[in-house]
Structure 1
Amino acid sequence: MPPVHHFVSFKYKPTLASPEISASVRHFTSLNTSVTRPDGTPLIRSFIRGENSSPEGLHQGHTHGFLLVFASTDDRDTYLAHPAHVKFATEVKGMVDGVYVFDINQEEAFVDGAVVKA
């Protein structure tokens, strides 16, 4: 199975204070280590986060992005149903005006100009 790249972005409510946004980002980031298989190994192979820095102006108000990589769709699906993820998703709904999620089943990748097959 190819890896799954799971992209999430948040459009936080404009009334939300910076410390609340920071706490939300920390909570999401903590899923990187708290969501594990029964044997204790993490489901998330890679976790990248950051704020929008695009000069294109196409972010539609989304300010924070997260890219999680899973080894398979099964791992991604297990993550989505995990109680820690469900709790976070429920909590963040009240903090955002929009959420965007997009998953890619990796077919091919290029790293430093070289092709990397899944």
Structure 2
Amino acid sequence: MKKLLLLTLILISSYTVSAQQNKQKQLLRHVVMFGWKPGTDAAAIDKVVTAFGDLEHKIKLIKAYEWGINNSPENLNNGLTHCFTLTFKSEADRDAYLIHPDHKAFVAVLSPAPDKVTVVDYWTNN
């Protein structure tokens, strides 16, 4: 009986440690996609792209940043052309980023350029 209890405790402990290690490996992705009104000036779009990229250097909570322009042949992008991905270690870091003065200044740069905006946040699954 003692061996069974000991084995059960070891298994529970092992599972708990494993679950904690998996959670530590997960990252929070913040994905932002923009679509532009037809005829939007390329300089206005470049201004937004540059300002978004500058956030990585201004807000230390951002662990990684990347962006790109849609090139899917499926034509399912619903007018969204530019995709930006920010990586955070926690929801608290993401939430602090959202209210950070430099993020708020970036949002002000957007007005009135994007026609469409979509934001999706998710935890990575390893």
How far apart are the structure 2 equivalents of 1:13 and 1:33? 29
Matching of residue 4 in structure 1 with residue 22 in structure 2: no
Q: How many residues align?
A: 102
Q: Percent identity?
A: 36
As a proportion of its length, which structure holds more strand? 1
Whether contact under 8 Å (1:3, 1:73) holds in the other structure is: no
Counterpart position of 2:58: 34
TM-score after normalising by structure 2: 0.76
TM-score, normalised by the number of residues in structure 1? 0.81
Larger Rg: 2
Structure 1 match to 2:43? 19
1:84-103 correspondence runs (5 A): 84-103=102-121
Structure 1 residue 105 displacement after superposition = 1.9
Kindly indicate which of the two structures has a greater share of residues assigned to helix.
2
1:61 aligns with 2:79: yes
SS of residue matched to 1:44: coil
For residues 31 and 14 of structure 1, the distance between their equivalents in structure 2, rounded to whole angstroms, comes to: 27
Q: Does 1:52 align with 2:70?
A: yes
Deviation for aligned residue 1:104? 0.2
Compute the RMSD of aligned alpha carbons: 1.2
Runs (4+) off by over 6 Å: none
